[in-house]
Homo-oligomer: A and B are copies of this chain.
Amino acid sequence: MPKRYRTQLINSITGFKSAALIGTQSEKGILNLAIFSQIFHLGANPALIGMIVRPAVVPRHTWTNIQETGFFTINHIHPSFVEKAHQCSAKYSEDVSEFEAVDLTPFFEENIKAPFVNKSHLKIGLAYRDHKLIELNDTILVIGEIVHVSLNHELIKEDGFVDLNLAETVTVSGMDAYYTTQKLGRFNYAKPDEKFDKLAENLF
């Protein structure tokens, strides 16, 4: 297989991915915004999120900034600014803030040394906790603990579930394809010898 063909294929077969803008800032205070699609839940207690960074490739500034400040933010992407989010994947030089380059407004919370994306309906502030080098391909698993969550309370169902479809969060496939979602079903906890139910509409 030709290299680019192979890269597209391998990138798209793992399934739909979360796409988010990762906000960081350098010691000097230069704001950075990068689009990532390898972000995943690691555990609820402590509340940990993992993210894969590739220092050899874009976005190299994110990892440097996290090491300098100890913080990063995860900001959901919506159709209203999906093109600005994609533009953040361009290789801007270190002294350029993607917030300015793509015209997105930063937002700050006290005690979190990283910028949020003001327009994002779901913003997560994280403190760096650990990292693991993956020697097989020189990527790094960065682990952060959630220290702040900002979202409209109407998005939260009574059992704590957050309605990402109502939040208009997009999902991504491969390196450059964006999608919205349609609800299929939310189900009860499954047990070996029982049929589970669909959860009531007010929970989904």
Contacts and interface: CB of A to CB of B under 8 A. Distances in A.
A83 B39 CA distance: 26
A160 B6 contact: yes
A103 interface: no
Nearest to A47: B10
Given A20-B15, A192-B101, A7 B171 contact: no
Interface in A125-158: 129-130, 132, 134-137, 139, 141, 143, 146, 149, 151, 156-157
A42 B134 contact: yes
Nearest to A87: B190
Interface size class on chain A is 35 or more
A134 B137 contact: no
A176 B196 CA distance: 11
Contact of A41 (B10, B101, B134, B184): B10
B180 A181 contact: yes
A113 interface: no
Contact of A162 (B9, B41, B76, B180): B9
12 contacts: A10-B146, A13-B149, A15-B19, A15-B20, A17-B41, A42-B136, A90-B191, A165-B179, A176-B186, A177-B186, A178-B185, A182-B182
Given A9-B149, A15-B18, 13 more contacts: A5-B160, A6-B44, A9-B161, A13-B162, A17-B18, A40-B40, A48-B136, A50-B52, A90-B190, A93-B192, A130-B134, A176-B188, A180-B181
Of all A-B residue pairs in the complex, the 7 with the closest CB atoms, nearest first, are: A15-B18, A8-B160, A5-B160, A16-B171, A179-B181, A43-B137, A90-B190
